[in-house]
Amino acid sequence: MNRQLILTGAALSAAVAFTGCGGGKKAATVAQSASAKARHHTPAATRAPAATATVGGTVRVGGFCKATGTVGRTSSGTMARCVKRPGDARARWYSQGPSSGVARAGQFCTKAGTKATTSSGAKLTCTKKAGETRPRWRTK
């Protein structure tokens, strides 16, 4: 076993000696390329900007807005945020509250206590039982 370690160490040393440690790149260039790759894997559309202001009155989800990052309330009381997503020509209001889509019993949900309905009309509640790390949609 010691012989394998010695041979592996010798092979790695030879590889570094022949190719070099950085291939001639400067440390700043390597750091810049690493940070560029990290930014590439986290698209801006998934990061919600911090709220910069709150709009008075009500807003309409899907309607155009002026300043991205602002938040407001719809007539039903749901929070909405002004965001310009990829493919949008202008910024629009997007709902930040519970989804109005169809939920299924057993699926993970985001906030315990929220309510939803199934496609058949059954009422679901987002709850987390003892020992679970994430809440799920449940009928009771």
91, 84 Cβ separation under 8 angstroms: yes
pLDDT per residue over 51-69, tens digit each? 567 777 888 888 999 888 8
Please tell me the pTM assigned to this model: 0.37
Instruction: Say what the pLDDT of residue 45 is.
Output: 46
Region for residue 17 given its phi and psi (left: phi exceeds 0; alpha: psi -120 to 50; beta: otherwise): alpha
